[in-house]
């Protein structure tokens, strides 16, 4: 039997392996692997010595006192409420309004209110537009690289996607911030695309560093299933145009996004 | 053993009742749930965020979110597990947010200063004992730094698996990933911690092997 890999030893220590007996038997006769397991154990035991500050029996009462004033009168009934038949009428009407507003926003021209508050909002929006545009460009690159990753050479069982994975993890943080900002600004369409993008980036970030061709195919299918590359391109293009509009017409304020969400 | 199971069952039933009463409009019924599960949530939140202030915020926010979304909670019998998952998810968000804020604040000179190491720090500590480890503030600092270096997913996976003893399926649910990806994240976290801490923790196994007079075999060869 070959020496055990680090992954096998960690899984064994974790109680996560199916080959427990074979590994235990190997460990009784192999000093090198036993030493390696002891080293892993030493690090984990050291980490176990890290203390967690004590919270006394009164802690729960303190938490309740802190949150009680902030609790609404009634606990949320969540999604169950949305399944009540009368809600469907409201949902249908809301969907029609949102769709109408979206279409109207696409075809109407920006207005010019010319107020100072509007120009502050415009500067803020321009900064956001540039930053989100760059973010979408970077995200598109990562997803494109994954979608077009070179198939493995014959005999090669694993494909290393650790570089894409690291970039996806970095992009996740920024994505979350932009999504929140878009939501606060009432740009529902952009927030929705960023929400979809976040799911895909999360999938990539949580995949193993080395994947089999079948696993890579699953990742690609997830990217395709969300249609995210297409959405990212469309919104990226729209942001470019929005940037041009805000640059060439400083007086023009309200964005298309605002217009389509206003109604 | 039977006693403990009976206590757990009673607690679950009591949780289920408190959830029903809260949903029926008795806001104070939620208090029992908060008092019963706060300690457990704090322990998880502290291990994930690494500081008391953030941990307390996570605990409070988790209960607020649980209250607001109580209707979504399908299985009445496991409120503790559900609240635990909400806390873990919020702690991940909090860690990511903090990391972005820290990265923005960090100036290049401050970064260089931080990376300068005392040469003495690099001398391996070869014979750790539990007492010595607990009292070794330098090692503690290194461990905290190594945990900070993990990505938020890795830290979550490590905390839930090694300190909280959660099943891989539970970790996968929090990370919104597959079980094999979650398993891999646990492995990656241990691997990174090992690389970062082994020089300071020392190799207990190697020392034991030396003491027994057995030379370790070179790895990567056939037996």
**Is A145:A164 a contact under the CB 8 Å cutoff?**
yes
Give pLDDT tens digits for A131-150: 888 888 888 888 877 777 66
What is the nearest CA distance from B7 to chain A, expressed in angstroms?
18
pLDDT confidence band for A84 (50 / 70 / 90): very low
**Is A110:A254 a contact under the CB 8 Å cutoff?**
yes
pLDDT score for B20: 87
- CA angle, residues B102, B103, B104, in degrees to nearest 5: 90
Residues of chain B with pLDDT under 50: 114, 119-120, 122-126, 203-223
CB contact under 8 A, A32 and B217: yes
CA nearest to B177, candidates A115, A207, A7 = A207
Q: How many CB atoms lie within 10 A of CB A165?
A: 22
Cα(B160)–Cα(B137) distance, integer angstroms: 24
Give pLDDT tens digits for A216-247: 777 777 777 777 777 777 877 777 777 676 66
Cα(A178)–Cα(B40) distance, integer angstroms: 33
Residue of B nearest to A58 (CA): B35
Q: Which residue has the tokens 């635990």?
A: B84
Give pLDDT tens digits for A154-193: 666 677 787 787 788 888 878 888 888 888 877 888 888 8
pLDDT score for A187: 81
ipTM exceeds 0.85: no
CB contact under 8 A, B223 and A1: yes
Q: How far is CA B164 from CA A99, A149, B44, B62, B82, in A?
A: 47, 38, 7, 18, 15
pLDDT score for B2: 57
CB contact under 8 A, A53 and B72: no
DSSP element (H, E) containing A160: strand A159-160
pLDDT confidence band for A112 (50 / 70 / 90): low
Residue A44: both structure tokens together: 């984990």
Give pLDDT tens digits for B173-196: 999 899 999 999 999 999 999 999
What mean pLDDT is reported for chain A? 74
Q: Which of B19, B31, B145 has the highest number of chain A CBs within 10 A, making it the mutation to test binding with A?
A: B31
Q: Of B60, B96, B206, which has the smallest distance from its Cβ to A63's Cβ? A: B60
Cα(B220)–Cα(A33) distance, integer angstroms: 10
Q: Which residue has the tokens 């943080």?
A: A173
Residue A41 DSSP SS3: helix
A69-83, A116-130, B9-23: range with highest mean pLDDT: B9-23
Q: Which of B148, B181, B190, B208 has the highest number of chain A CBs within 10 A, making it the mutation to test binding with A?
A: B190
Contact partners, residue A40, CB within 8 Å, separation at least 6? A6, A9, A10, A13, B190, B194
Q: Which of A29, A46, A165 has the highest number of chain B CBs within 10 A, making it the mutation to test binding with B?
A: A46
pLDDT score for B61: 95
What is the nearest CA distance from A173 to chain B, expressed in angstroms?
6
3-state secondary structure chain B: CHHHHHHHHHHHHHHHHHHHHHHCCCCCHHHHHHHHHHHHHHHHHHHHHCCHHHHHHHHHHHHHHHHHCHHHCCCHHHHHHHHHHHHHHHHHHHHHHHHHHHHHHCCHHHHHHHHCCCHHHHCCCCCCCHHHHHHCHHHHHHHHHHHHHCCHHHHHHHHHHHHCCCCHHHHHHHHCCCHHHHHHHHHHHHHHHHHHHHHHHCCHHHHHHHHCCCCCCCCCCEC
According to DSSP, the residues that pair with A2 across neighbouring strands are B222
CB contact under 8 A, B153 and A7: no
């Amino acid at each position: 039997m070959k020496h055990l890999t680090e992954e096998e030893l960690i899984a064994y220590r974790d109680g996560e392996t199916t080959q427990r007996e074979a590994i235990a038997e190997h460990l009784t006769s192999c000093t090198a692997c036993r030493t390696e397991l002891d080293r892993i154990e030493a690090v984990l035991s050291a980490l176990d010595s890290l203390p967690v500050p004590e919270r006394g029996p009164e802690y729960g009462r303190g938490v309740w006192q802190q949150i009680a004033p902030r609790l609404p009168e009634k606990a949320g009934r969540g999604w169950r409420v949305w399944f009540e038949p009368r809600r469907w009428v409201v949902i249908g009407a809301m969907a029609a309004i949102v769709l109408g507003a979206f279409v109207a926003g696409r075809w109407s021209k920006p207005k010019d209110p010319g107020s100072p508050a509007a120009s502050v909002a415009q500067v803020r929006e321009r900064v956001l537009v540039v930053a989100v545009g760059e973010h979408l460009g970077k995200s598109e690159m990562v997803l494109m690289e994954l979608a077009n990753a070179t198939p493995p050479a014959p005999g090669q069982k694993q494909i290393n996607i650790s570089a894409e994975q690291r970039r996806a993890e970095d992009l996740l943080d920024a994505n979350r911030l932009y999504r929140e900002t878009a939501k606060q600004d009432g740009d529902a369409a952009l927030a929705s695309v960023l929400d979809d993008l976040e799911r895909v980036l999360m999938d990539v970030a949580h995949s193993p560093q080395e994947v089999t061709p079948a696993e890579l195919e699953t990742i690609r299918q997830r990217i395709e299933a969300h249609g995210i590359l297409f959405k990212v391109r469309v919104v990226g293009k729209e942001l470019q145009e929005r940037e041009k509009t805000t640059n060439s017409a400083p007086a023009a304020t309200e964005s298309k996004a605002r217009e389509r969400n206003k109604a | 053993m039977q006693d403990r199971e009976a206590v757990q069952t009673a607690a679950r039933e009591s949780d289920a009742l408190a959830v029903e009463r809260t949903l029926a409009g008795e806001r104070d019924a939620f208090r029992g749930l908060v008092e019963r599960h706060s300690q457990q949530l704090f322990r998880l939140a502290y291990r994930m965020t690494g500081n008391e202030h953030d941990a307390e915020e996570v605990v409070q926010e988790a209960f607020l979110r649980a209250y607001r979304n109580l209707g979504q909670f399908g299985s009445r019998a496991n409120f503790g597990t559900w609240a635990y998952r909400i806390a873990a998810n919020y702690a991940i968000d909090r860690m990511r947010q903090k990391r972005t804020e820290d990265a923005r604040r960090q100036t290049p000179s401050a970064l260089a200063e931080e990376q300068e190491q005392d040469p003495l720090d690099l001398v391996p500590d070869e014979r750790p004992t539990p007492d010595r480890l607990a009292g070794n503030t330098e090692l503690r600092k290194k461990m905290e730094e190594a945990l900070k270096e993990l990505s938020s997913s890795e830290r979550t996976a490590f905390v839930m698996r090694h300190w909280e003893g959660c099943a891989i399926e539970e970790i996968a649910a929090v990370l919104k990933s597959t079980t094999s990806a979650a398993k891999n994240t646990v492995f990656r976290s241990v691997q990174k911690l090992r690389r970062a801490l082994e020089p300071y923790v020392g190799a207990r196994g190697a020392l034991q092997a030396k003491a027994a007079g057995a030379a370790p075999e070179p790895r990567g060869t056939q037996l």
